[in-house]
A and B are shown apart, each in its own frame.
Chain A
Amino acid sequence: MNFSEVFKQSNQLCKVSPDGKYLATCVQYRLVVRDFNSLQIAHLYTCLDPVMHMEWSSDSLFILCAMYKRGLVQVWSLEQPDWHCKIDEGSIGLVSSRWSPDGRHVLNTTEFNLRVTVWSLCTKAVSYIKYPKACQKGVDFTADGRYMALAERRECKDYISVFVCDDWHLLRHFESETQDLAGLEWSPNCCVLAVWDNCLEYKLLLYSLDGRLLSSYSAYEWSLGIKSVAWSPSSQFLAVGSYDEKVRILNHITWKKITEFEHPATIINTKAVVFKEVEKRPVVGSEDLSIHQLTVDNSLFSTQSKYEITQLPAQVPVIKPDPDRANPKIGISALAFSADNRFLATKNDNMPQSLWVWDMQRLSLLAVLEQTAPVRCFVWDPRRPRLALCTGNTKVYLWSPAGCVSVNVPVEGSFQVLSLFWHCSGSSLVLLSKEHICLCYVEAEEEK
């Protein structure tokens, strides 16, 4: 595994272009576009204010930089570096900004979610969408980029609008049977929209593309409900994570639960493997502690770690959540399917140091990774069944069905990996610390 040198970034803004050729990072008010393979700076743009949000267009030709404080959005072109576009929302303010799937429209959400303005880069047309709902996930585009679903709230009722992204024509507008819609997500095959209620009521609704209610699912009443939802890439399964520390898998034929995955504090399932991260501190003799060594050789302070397999039954460390706080830290907050549909990774908030990997073919627990610090971020390789995770220390961890490995980021000073993502080819990882990024080139084969 090779590591590149370190580059600066601010606000964790670092994105790879959809075609994988460029890497864009924001450093305060500068936008730096590098060629991904050589890491040479290809373009440099200057915005009017520190950038809060940056996004590539789907065809990798344009980059959007949003500055919420000033209510500005600037769009830059890669083909024509001197092309410029500035969208000023004025006194109405700006809360979020995103591309449309065709890469030619910018959707701005104004402050207080008053409306969504659709700016076109092709024509002078401007569209407005009223009463958008401010919730966990109120807007979603289909994978083929043809339709957009938007959650609306009018007169204390939830509605869903489906727009055709071609010309922003309102295809369907129907009332949603939720009490307080928290999020919606299209299935990867673009035909089913999953809509879920907020945590006070466990309710998951499935609407067809034409607005018909296909099915409704509710596992239990009264206790806190759904925390996270994820579609499998083949649209076969819908994983629903809830506050009762369980993940329920629904199937796409009957929309009924086929199984539920529990996250118990004691693991007795003999088919599962529990990997525990064990830190080993290097032994330091007193003669070695010279100033020179301390400054140059940072391996003195960085601890090596490796994975050990724990005997079953194994105990998973649990942290009890504060009962007096809202949105308690309990329940399944993150779910991710692997690209080949075979694995599901979950994180239970009251076991923050553990990551659970489930085998979707056998519908059972495959592995549990127990880290020394709470897991901050985990992402699947877009090509292979390989999972990368980080816990905020100087290491990056990789799991694959063959085993798992922990790698120290060999950067001078310490590089605390706060988040990471894969390049679309799956051959490299981009690691982000508070103010820097580092690329990690990963080989196809993994060793234990």
Chain B
Amino acid sequence: MSPSRLYTASVMPPLPLSSFNVSSNFCTEENISECILYINQELSSLCFPPIFQNSDSIRDLDAVVALNNIHDLLQLHRRAVGMMEELEVEQLKSSSDLHYQHLTNSRLKDQLELSKKENMRLHERERQLETNLKTLQNCLKDTKEEVQRLQGIIASRAIQYNHDIKRREREHNRVKERLNQLLIAKKENKQGMEVLNYVGRSDGRRCLWKTGKTESRHEGDMYKTLLSEFDNRQRELMVENIELKKVLQQMKREMVGVLNSKKMSQKEEKQSNDMDQTNSDDDELLKGHPEMSCDHAREKLTNSIRQQWRKLKHHVERLDSQASMVQDEDSEEVISKQLHEEEMERLKLEIQQCKEFIETQQQLLQQQLNTPCDEETAAVLNDSYMLEEKERLKEEWKVFEEQRKNFEMERRNFTEAAIRLGHERKCFEDDRAMWLKHQFLNTPFADQMKPQSRMADEFSKHSGREEKLISISGKVSKSHL
């Protein structure tokens, strides 16, 4: 933007007049004619009249014309220089304008940048303010809710207080009334107890007087109760503690066992060796004093349990991830993939076998259902079986019927026989009675035996069925005697 720059850039230095010297290199003594010719040409090209006309003499210059031409040339030159100067000035001006424009351009660009930045900043601020506003609104809502809640609490507390105050006031009034009553009342109602006789204490002992010894005894009793309670509780807690320790140790052993039994990489094996080392340490520590809660041992135990558990967890997680990885890509653990595949194959085979089995079953079942395809034969077969059964049953039924009839007949016979027997017995009895009467009335006392034997003879004539009656009559006759 400095002026020197302006000038040096665009302007050529003006032709110094001093550079014109008298001894010019253009014309010399030898080439005067050529020079004249040349100058003529030049002048004519510039529309000047020629300074030299075609003539015979070489150095015949038209001085007037030459001077005019020189004058014109000088004027031209002056004009040209002026114009050049003007042009130079104009050039300077425009270049300075341009420069100025450049400057303003860059300035405006900078300004634009700045304002853009400012805009972004303001946007950012607005966004922050909005989020702030939201959080504040939420806070306000929460606070309002809190306020409502507290107001509710205050209201309920106020109700409670009022209720209480009213109650106390009522009681206070009652006390005042009673006090008034007592002041007014003349009759003094003394309090006292009347009892027929004093009863003994429930435990049978005598009542003791209050002395310092009893007081200390009471204190002692109280502390004894507390101590025994503490002892009980401590014992229970100890037992529980031992149980839990045992369980923890067992858990630890099992976890170690589980971790060791899995096929692990060498690294894990090394780790397990370390674990074994620590395990044996713990066991040694705790073996000797299972009941003592040594802080160090306790901490070691819990820490080792935590360690084992973490390892087990990692192991299980790794197995899980392995299982999922096998599906996607060729995993690093070739062993498990193989196992997995073998397992899959085996299962597939099983499935196939089962399917075949089911199919054959289905076929057989279908056959079974289809073989009695001519239903008539099946029905006939069935019917024939049924008929056979029926026939057999009919026969049996007949047999039963016959037997029943026989039984009926026999029963009827029996009843008839019984009835007849009854009748006969009755007749017999009557006869016997009559006969006895006769005998008794007729025979003398000497012949006691004879009638007995005679009776026996007569009775033996009867059928075997009446043997019983012989004994009866025997008894009867004996009773007579």
From A71, A77, A104, give the contact of B202 (CB < 8 A).
Answer: A104
Please report the C-alpha to C-alpha distance between residue A119 and residue B191 in the assembled complex, in whole angstroms.
Answer: 11
Asked whether, in the complex, the Cβ of B214 is within 8 Å of the Cβ of A102, the reply is: no
Among listed B3-11, B49-57, B152-160, B460-468, interface-contacting one: B152-160
List of A residues within 8 angstroms of B200 by Cβ: 122
Kindly state whether residue A414 has any CB partner on chain B within 8 Å: no
- Kindly identify, within residues 155 to 170 of chain B, every residue whose CB is under 8 Å from any CB belonging to chain A: 155-157, 159-164
List of A residues within 8 angstroms of B221 by Cβ: 146, 164
Asked whether, in the complex, the Cβ of A224 is within 8 Å of the Cβ of B160, the reply is: yes
Interface residues on A, range: 35 or more
A-B contact count (CB 8 A): 124
Kindly state whether residue B195 has any CB partner on chain A within 8 Å: yes
- Kindly identify, within residues 63 to 93 of chain A, every residue whose CB is under 8 Å from any CB belonging to chain B: 71, 75, 77, 82-93
From A75, A89, A210, A326, give the contact of B163 (CB < 8 A).
Answer: A326
List of B residues within 8 angstroms of A288 by Cβ: none
User: What 0/1 readout, one digit per residue, does chain A (137-175) give for beta carbons within 8 Å of chain B?
Assistant: 000000000110000000000000000101101010000
Please report the C-alpha to C-alpha distance between residue A104 and residue B164 in the assembled complex, in whole angstroms.
Answer: 36
Q: From known contacts A112-B178, A167-B214, A210-B223, infer whether A327 and B193 are also in contact, taking CB-CB under 8 Å.
A: no
Please report the C-alpha to C-alpha distance between residue A318 and residue B301 in the assembled complex, in whole angstroms.
Answer: 52
List of B residues within 8 angstroms of A82 by Cβ: 196
Kindly state whether residue B208 has any CB partner on chain A within 8 Å: yes
Kindly state whether residue A2 has any CB partner on chain B within 8 Å: no
List of B residues within 8 angstroms of A89 by Cβ: 191
Kindly state whether residue B13 has any CB partner on chain A within 8 Å: no
Asked whether, in the complex, the Cβ of B226 is within 8 Å of the Cβ of A210, the reply is: yes
Asked whether, in the complex, the Cβ of A324 is within 8 Å of the Cβ of B159, the reply is: yes
Q: Which residue of A lies closest to B227 (CB)?
A: A191
Q: Which residue of A lies closest to B188 (CB)?
A: A91
Kindly state whether residue B470 has any CB partner on chain A within 8 Å: no
List of B residues within 8 angstroms of A253 by Cβ: 233, 237
List of A residues within 8 angstroms of B437 by Cβ: none
Q: From known contacts A325-B159, A326-B162, infer whether A102 and B191 are also in contact, taking CB-CB under 8 Å.
A: no
Kindly state whether residue A121 has any CB partner on chain B within 8 Å: yes
Please report the C-alpha to C-alpha distance between residue A245 and residue B204 in the assembled complex, in whole angstroms.
Answer: 49
Asked whether, in the complex, the Cβ of A85 is within 8 Å of the Cβ of B163, the reply is: no
A109 to chain B, nearest CB (A): 13
B174 to chain A, nearest CB (A): 7
Q: From known contacts A169-B218, A191-B226, infer whether A83 and B197 are also in contact, taking CB-CB under 8 Å.
A: yes
- Kindly identify, within residues 297 to 339 of chain A, every residue whose CB is under 8 Å from any CB belonging to chain B: 323-328
Q: Which residue of B lies closest to A187 (CB)?
A: B229
Majority DSSP secondary structure for residues of A touching B: loop
Kindly state whether residue B444 has any CB partner on chain A within 8 Å: no
B427 to chain A, nearest CB (A): 65
Q: From known contacts A167-B208, A189-B229, infer whether A121 and B195 are also in contact, taking CB-CB under 8 Å.
A: yes
Kindly state whether residue A199 has any CB partner on chain B within 8 Å: yes
List of A residues within 8 angstroms of B175 by Cβ: 112
Q: Which residue of B lies closest to A87 (CB)?
A: B193
Asked whether, in the complex, the Cβ of B197 is within 8 Å of the Cβ of A112, the reply is: no
Please report the C-alpha to C-alpha distance between residue A93 and residue B199 in the assembled complex, in whole angstroms.
Answer: 26
Asked whether, in the complex, the Cβ of A83 is within 8 Å of the Cβ of B226, the reply is: no
Kindly state whether residue B449 has any CB partner on chain A within 8 Å: no
Asked whether, in the complex, the Cβ of A58 is within 8 Å of the Cβ of B202, the reply is: yes
Asked whether, in the complex, the Cβ of B185 is within 8 Å of the Cβ of A91, the reply is: yes
List of B residues within 8 angstroms of A58 by Cβ: 202
List of B residues within 8 angstroms of A111 by Cβ: 178
Q: From known contacts A121-B199, A122-B200, A191-B229, infer whether A90 and B207 are also in contact, taking CB-CB under 8 Å.
A: no
A129 to chain B, nearest CB (A): 15
List of A residues within 8 angstroms of B189 by Cβ: 88, 90-91
The CB with the most chain A CB atoms within 10 A, among B163, B199, B218, is that of B199
Kindly state whether residue A209 has any CB partner on chain B within 8 Å: yes
Q: Which residue of B lies closest to A79 (CB)?
A: B199
List of A residues within 8 angstroms of B160 by Cβ: 199-200, 224, 326-327
Asked whether, in the complex, the Cβ of B222 is within 8 Å of the Cβ of A210, the reply is: yes
Q: Which residue of A lies closest to B223 (CB)?
A: A210
B156 to chain A, nearest CB (A): 6
Asked whether, in the complex, the Cβ of B159 is within 8 Å of the Cβ of A326, the reply is: yes
Kindly state whether residue A208 has any CB partner on chain B within 8 Å: yes
A395 to chain B, nearest CB (A): 36
List of A residues within 8 angstroms of B328 by Cβ: none
Given contacts A111-B178, A191-B225, A222-B157, 5 further A-B pairs with CB under 8 A are: A88-B190, A90-B191, A92-B191, A122-B198, A210-B226
14 A-B contacts (beta carbon < 8 Å)? A57-B202, A83-B196, A84-B196, A86-B193, A88-B193, A90-B189, A90-B190, A121-B198, A122-B199, A122-B200, A169-B218, A209-B225, A224-B156, A328-B156
Residues in A lying within 8 Å of B, measured CB to CB: 57-59, 61, 71, 75, 77, 82-93, 102-104, 111-112, 117, 119, 121-126, 146-147, 164, 166-167, 169, 171, 189-191, 199-200, 208-210, 222-224, 253, 323-328
